Amino acid sequence: MPSPRLSRAANNSANPMNKLEFMSLLTNASDPVSIRHRTSDSPVHRKDSFNATSSTASQPQQQQLPEEDCMKLNPSFLGIALSSLLAVDLWLTKTMGVCAREGSSWGSARPLMKLVEISGHGILWIAGTLYCLYKSDSSAGREVILNLLFALLLDLILVGIVKGIVKRRRPVHNRMDMFATFSVDKYSFPSGHATRAAMVSRFMLNHLVLAVPVRILVMLWAVLVSLSRVMLGRHNVTDVAFGFFMGHMQYSLIEYFWLSPSILPALFRM
């Protein structure tokens, strides 16, 4: 008869997910290894076993846990935390996808949400920036616009790379009727609209002189573009949350590597 430890190891190698979920939850009361896991997981016992280790030599088996056993407790906790986050994410995504179809509860707002979607589209922003660059007649203005153009291109590249690596599918209720997409845009993590909205809004707030009401509008626009991704059913909540965070990071990167006429004089002589 195989030992409980051996048969458990066989199960784990057959399905690695089981290892994450069940190692610390489904312990067998008669399994000495399980008992050791549970008792060593308790803070009280941890203190006791520390005392035992330091004060008595009469219980040598309690003194040292094999390193492999200690390591398994953390992945199990992480696995449960990630599964819970994913469950909340899917539930919120489904609940908030109120414009995903014409027949959805807010289906009549879908055309409006699609307008918001277009306002954050990469093509619109790149074309608009190129036009402003062409029209700009001051070198200070050209410097800002050129850096915005680099920011938009960097955003496209980074989002494309992360989407290609993560390969998370868009929510099942999404209708793929988006205007002008790349092949990686069949994937949903992170939201390119959210990265762009966060990055561009920070850029505008920091580099354009705007009246307070316009600054508030810029912030509202960024939030609305991000929110509309979930409402349209295009993205999961975590795609948008991470995208927003990534957009902020991208802006910091652009600030750090700011292109000035002294670095690339040829670009500013156009």
Ligand X SMILES: CC(C)=CCC/C(C)=C/COP(=O)(O)O
For residues 149 and 132, the answer to whether their CB atoms sit within 8 Å is: no
Known catalytic membership, residue 45: no
Segment contacting ligand X (CB under 6 A): 42-50, 103-111, 127-135, 187-195?
187-195
Query: Could you say which of 37, 173, 235, 248 is catalytic?
Result: 235
What is the number of residues in the chain? 270
Count of C-beta atoms within a 10 Å radius of residue 251: 21
CA 237/CA 191 separation, integer angstroms? 9
Closer to ligand X at the Cβ: 123 or 220?
Answer: 123
3-state SS class at 209 = coil
Nearest approach, Cβ of residue 94 and ligand X (Å): 18
19 contributes a contact to ligand X by CB under 6 A: no
Residue 49 is a binding residue for ligand X (CB under 6 A): no
- In the block, tokens 């290609």 appear at 164
For residue 235, which amino acid is it? H
Residue 182 contacts ligand X per CB under 6 A: yes
Distances (CA, A) of 52 to 45, 57, 114, 181: 10, 8, 66, 64
Least Cβ distance, residue 53 to ligand X (angstroms): 53
Q: Which of residues 216-235 bind ligand X (CB under 6 A)?
A: 229, 234
Give the residue, chosen from 178, 217, 219, 223, that forms a contact with ligand X under the rule CB under 6 A: 178
Q: Is 245 in the site for ligand X (CB under 6 A)?
A: no
Is-catalytic flag, 193?
yes
Map the footprint of ligand X across residues 87-126, applying CB under 6 A: 121-123, 126
Nearer to ligand X, 37 or 121 (CB): 121
Smallest separation, CB 181 to ligand X (Å): 4
Question: DSSP code of 63?
Answer: H
> If you ran DSSP here, which 8-state letter would residue 171 be given?
P
Select the residue whose beta carbon is closest to ligand X and give its number: 122
Q: Does residue number 191 form part of the binding site for ligand X (CB under 6 A)? A: yes
CA-CA distance, 72 to 23, in Å (whole number)? 7
Tell me whether residue 49 or residue 242 sits nearer to ligand X (CB atom): 242
Cα distance between residue 98 and residue 234, in whole Å: 11
DSSP H or E segment with residue 7: helix 4-14
Paired tokens of 221: 């626009």
Could you tell me which residues are beta bridge partners of residue 187? 169
The nearer residue to ligand X, 126 or 227, going by C-beta atoms, is: 126
Catalytic residues: 193, 235
- Which chain residues interact with ligand X by CB under 6 A? 121-123, 126, 156, 178, 180-182, 185, 191-193, 229, 234
